[in-house]
Amino acid sequence: MDKYYTITELTREFGVSTRTLRFYEDEGLIHPERRGRTRFFRATDRHLIKEILRGRRIGFSISEIREIIQMYKEPPGEAGQLRLMMKRLEDKRAELIQKRRDIEETLEEMSNVEEACLTRLAEIGVGT
Amino acid sequence: MDKYYTITELTREFGVSTRTLRFYEDEGLIHPERRGRTRFFRATDRHLIKEILRGRRIGFSISEIREIIQMYKEPPGEAGQLRLMMKRLEDKRAELIQKRRDIEETLEEMSNVEEACLTRLAEIGVGT
DNA sequence: ATCGACATTTACGTAAAAGTCAATGCGTAC
DNA sequence: GTACGCATTGACTTTTACGTAAATGTCGAT
C-alpha cells in the first residue's frame, strides 16, 4: 500500500497544529516528501512523530529528541563515540528513573488529597 | 530548634540559583521571613522548595505547582469546589500515568540501543 | 576603614516551542 | 471561471522560567 498522509490528517490524529509539524520539519526531525509544494507524509514520518510527541510529553527538548532519534538511526562506528553515547544514555536513564520516582510520589500524594476530598464531601453530603 | 536557612544554603542544597528562589517567592510559592532585607527560610519553606522542584522535574508549570500547593493547604469547603478539584485531580492523574508509560517505553528502547552499542563495541573490541 | 563574601532590588535579556496573521497557490465543485 | 477549502511560506508575537547586569547594602574579619 505505502499510504501517504496529508498534514491535516496527522494534525487531527495527534492533536497538534500544522505549524508544529512544519516546525519539526524545519528542525530536521522529519522529512516528508514533496509534490509541488505539498507535503506527503509516509508511515515512517508518522512513526517519528509519535516518538517526538512521546519525547515531548516526557519533557525532552527538541535537541534532545533529535539526539535520541539519531541514536536509533545509526549507532556510531567508532569506539570512542560509542562509549560517549553510552555515557549519555546512562545519564538520561538516571534522569528518567528519577522522573518516574517523582511521578510515583506525586501520584501517591494526589491519592491522599483525593481521599481527604472524599471524606470532606461525605461530611458535607450528610447535611444535604 | 527552629533552624533558619540562608538563601545560599538552600541554593547549594538543591542546586538552584538565588534568582530561582527569589523568583519562586515573587510567584507566591514560598514566603521566607525577613530580617531587614535579608531572607530567612524556615523548614516549611525548605519543604515547599522540595515539592516545587519535584513538580518542575515532572514538567509542571509554575501555576500548576501553585495550584497543587494550594490543594495541600486547604481543601476547599464548598461541595462544588471539591468536585471541581477532584475532576482536576483525575485529569492530572491521567496525565501522570501517561507520562509514566512514556518513560517506561523510552527506558526500554534505551536498553535496546545500549545493547546494540555493547554488541558493536564487542565486535570492534575484538580487533583492537 | 576596608575588604570580601554574601545579600538585595530593578530592569532588561533570552531560548524554546509554538501561535497567529497575512499573502498567496492549487485543485475542484459548481 | 470563479469561489472555496486546504496548503504553504514568512514574519511577527507570545509565554514560561528563569539568566544576567548594575548599582547598593550588610557584616564579620583583618
* E strand or H helix that includes residue A75: none
| Measured distance CA(B5)–CA(B7) in Å, rounded | 6
- The answer to whether B84 contacts chain A (CB < 8 Å) is no
CATH architecture of A1-74: Orthogonal Bundle (1.10)
Task: Burial-class residue B80 by CB neighbours within 10 Å (0-12, 13-18, 19+).
Answer: exposed
- The answer to whether B79 contacts chain A (CB < 8 Å) is yes
Question: Could you tell me the pLDDT band of residue A1, with boundaries at 50, 70 and 90?
Answer: low
For chain B, which residues make up each domain, given as ranges?
A: 1-74, 75-128
Q: Coil, strand or helix: which one is B33?
A: strand
Question: Among partner residues A93, A105, A121, which is closest to B110 by beta-carbon distance?
Answer: A93
Q: Grid coordinates 471539591 are at which residue?
A: B82
Give the nearest chain A residue to B79 (CA atoms): A121
Contacts of A108 in chain B (CB under 8 A): none
Q: Which strand C bases fall within 7 angstroms of a protein CB?
A: 6-9, 16-21, 25-27
Per DSSP, what are the bridge partners of residue A12? none
Which is it for strands A38-40 and B33-35: parallel, antiparallel or unpaired? unpaired
Averaged over A6-21, what is the pLDDT?
92
- Per-residue pLDDT of B17-53, as tens digits, reads 999 999 999 999 999 998 888 999 999 999 999 999 9
Question: Could you tell me the pLDDT band of residue A128, with boundaries at 50, 70 and 90?
Answer: low
Q: Cβ A57–B120 below 8 Å, yes or no?
A: no
DSSP H helices in A6-127: 7-14, 18-26, 43-58, 62-73, 79-126
Q: Cβ B117–A79 below 8 Å, yes or no?
A: no
